[in-house]
Amino acid sequence: MQPEDNSTDTTPVESPRRRRVLAGIGVGAGAAALGVGTAAADGHDVTVTLNNVGASAWEVTDVQGGEVAPTGVDNPTLTLTEGVRYRFVNNGWSVHPFELRDADTNPLLSQSADGSFEGDSETNWVDDGTELAFTVTSELTDELDSYICTVHSSMVGSVETTQQLDPDAATVSFSDQSTTGGSVVVDSVELGDGGFVVIHDSSLLGGRYADCDGPPGHEWQPDLRLPRRRRPLHRRRRPGDRRCRRPGRGR
């Protein structure tokens, strides 16, 4: 076994473009290793339960599988994600038909009218009375604007749409700075659920990792001393090596 080289390298960290590429590799690997996924076993990614507050408002009483809207709020904004399949349980459907509309109040999907997306195979609209289901396609994303009870006009709320974050993609941004092995200040991190961040110099692909627990703008102070000699990619981790992990996860 070769002795460990603890010499330091004071070379400035590389360009932002290069740093983002290296960080993306680390985060992608972490997400893959943890087996990140969003699909539920029953074929629906997210289930939302609705009820009526008299004839004045909608109320979300439960959400399973994702974040759509706060519970216990009158006519909350619904945030739907492109590519996700939703099941809505409408407990007041017989008196309060649910409808999704575009900005011109035209029905897109409706329990009491013919919506323009109800025949779309990719949207796959299903209406069984109490339960309805649909997939948010890119085309539907472009049109969604509001939801309403077709009987009571005060039961109306906004719809916002978002795109899914690719679990194999990530960005880490930090300003140009030099390090002598002390600290690196990171401005922002964006990554998929289950991922982790690895920050290192290009000569350290198989060496030490930077600890990365902390909010944006937090000054991380890990062991960033870089060996002058590149270590092989298959080198086993040694005592003292640091690796970022999600809080609460075991080794």
Confidence of residue 81 (pLDDT cuts 50, 70, 90): very high
In the predicted model, is pLDDT for residue 220 greater than 80? no
Considering only residues 206 and 16, tell me which one the structure prediction assigns the higher pLDDT.
206
58/53 Cα distance (integer angstroms): 6
The two beta strands, 78-82 and 156-163, are: parallel
Which of 110-114, 171-175, 203-207, 230-234 is the most confident on average?
A: 110-114
Q: Which residue has the tokens 């779309």?
A: 120
Q: How many CA atoms lie within 13 A of 84 on its CB side?
A: 24
Q: What is the mean pLDDT of residues 173-184?
A: 71
Residue-averaged pLDDT of the chain: 71
71/92 Cα distance (integer angstroms): 16
Confidence of residue 182 (pLDDT cuts 50, 70, 90): low
Q: Percent of the chain beyond pLDDT 90?
A: 45
Give me the pLDDT at residue 69, please.
96
Buried b (16+ CB within 10 A) or exposed e, 171-185: ebebeeeebeeeebe
Residues 98 and 133 sit within 8 Å (Cβ to Cβ): no
Residues whose CB is less than 8 angstroms from the CB of residue 115 and which lie 6 or more positions away in sequence, other chains included: 99, 100, 107, 108, 109, 125
Q: What is the mean pLDDT of residues 122-141?
A: 96
- The matching CATH number, chosen from 2.40.128.110, 2.30.110.10, 2.40.30.210, 2.60.40.420, for 46-163 is 2.60.40.420
Q: What is the mean pLDDT of residues 175-183?
A: 70
Give me the pLDDT at residue 195, please.
64
Confidence of residue 21 (pLDDT cuts 50, 70, 90): very low
In the predicted model, is pLDDT for residue 237 greater than 60? no
58/110 Cα distance (integer angstroms): 15
Q: How many CA atoms lie within 13 A of 40 on its CB side?
A: 13
197/238 Cα distance (integer angstroms): 19
* The two structure tokens encoding residue 183: 């600290």
Considering only residues 41 and 85, tell me which one the structure prediction assigns the higher pLDDT.
85
User: Where do the structural domains in the chain lie, given as residue ranges?
Assistant: 1-37+165-251, 46-163
Give me the pLDDT at residue 186, please.
76
Report yes or no on whether pTM surpasses 0.85: no
Give me the pLDDT at residue 164, please.
77
Q: What is the DSSP annotation of 181-244? A: SS-EE--EEE--TT-------GGGTTS------S-TT-EE----PPPSSPPPTTPPP-TT----
Q: How many CA atoms lie within 13 A of 183 on its CB side?
A: 8
Q: Percent of the chain beyond pLDDT 70?
A: 53
Q: Within the chain, where are the H helices?
A: 16-33, 138-143
